[in-house]
Amino acid sequence: MSGPEELTWQGEGHALLASTEDLAVAQKLLAEFDDDLGDRYRALIDGHPDATVRTCRPGHLTGSALVVDSAGTNTLLMLHAKFGRWLQPGGHADGDANLAAVALREATEETGIDGLRIWPRPLHLDIHEVDPPGEDPHLHFDVRFLVQAPAGARPQGNHESRALRWVPLDGLADFGCDPGLVHLAQLGAEALAELPKP
């Protein structure tokens, strides 16, 4: 995560978070990931004009959010109704190539928290297989962002979760979270130490 002076935390309605079908926006977000993982994302986008649509196979782009409290010490996890696991909020792009907008939208919908702010540069990339009921197994090319909740935020949740819980950033392994989410929380804690406050 470089160049914090170039960006600021953004809230809903900011021009940087405008929805678009232009895959060049997704490519630009991925530009700093110049490794094999980033290359896999670029290959998906280059080879699939429908990469932001959930029917794209072998997989499609998704956006998710490491939602942290205003103190930056806890993250909000949801017990996912379909998968029965504790996960960070996030979901399908549904045609939107601005994955920062996707992550913020999904975080707002799934937590019920108004006033979330997102750091619009991706924090982490993760490709993982999902096997949802009634669908074929496929890959989620997840682009993960850091999102901060306002002070006093009270999560409400929606039909996609059975429960929501604030968990210390350094306590996800003890909470039974998968290694990818534990790593995401570590990256989030490191980024929060360097970034300006929202």
Whole-angstrom distance, CA of residue 123 vs CA of residue 145: 5
Q: What band does 28 get if pLDDT is binned at 50, 70 and 90?
A: very high
Q: CA dist 28 to 45, 51, 62, 118, Å?
A: 11, 15, 15, 17
Q: pLDDT tier at 84 (50, 70, 90 boundaries)?
A: confident
| Segment 2-20 mean pLDDT | 78
- How many CB atoms within 10 Å of residue 18? 12
The arrangement of secondary structure in 4-194, i.e. its CATH architecture, is Alpha-Beta Complex (3.90)
Does residue 39 contact residue 178 with C-beta atoms inside 8 Å? no
Q: What is the mean pLDDT of residues 122-135?
A: 92
pLDDT above 60 for 5: no
Strand 59-68, strand 138-148: pairing: parallel
User: Beta-carbon neighbour count of residue 167 at 10 Å?
Assistant: 16
Using 50, 70 and 90 to split pLDDT, how confident is the model at 92? very high
Share of the chain above pLDDT 90, in %: 79
Delimit the domains of the chain by residue range: 4-194
Inform me whether the pLDDT recorded for 1 exceeds 70. no
| Mean pLDDT value across the chain | 92
Region 191-197 average pLDDT = 91
Going 79 to 173 to 142 to 68, the CA torsion angle's sign is: positive
- In angstroms, the CA 52 to CA 170 distance is 32
Mean local confidence (pLDDT), 93-106:
98
pLDDT at 197: 83
The residue behind tokens 């197994």 is: 137
Judge contact between 10 and 103, C-beta under 8 A.
no
Percent of the chain with pLDDT over 70: 97
Residue type, position 111, single letter:
T
User: Mean pLDDT over residues 129-141, rounded?
Assistant: 91
pLDDT at 6: 57
| Res. 7: pLDDT tops 80 | no
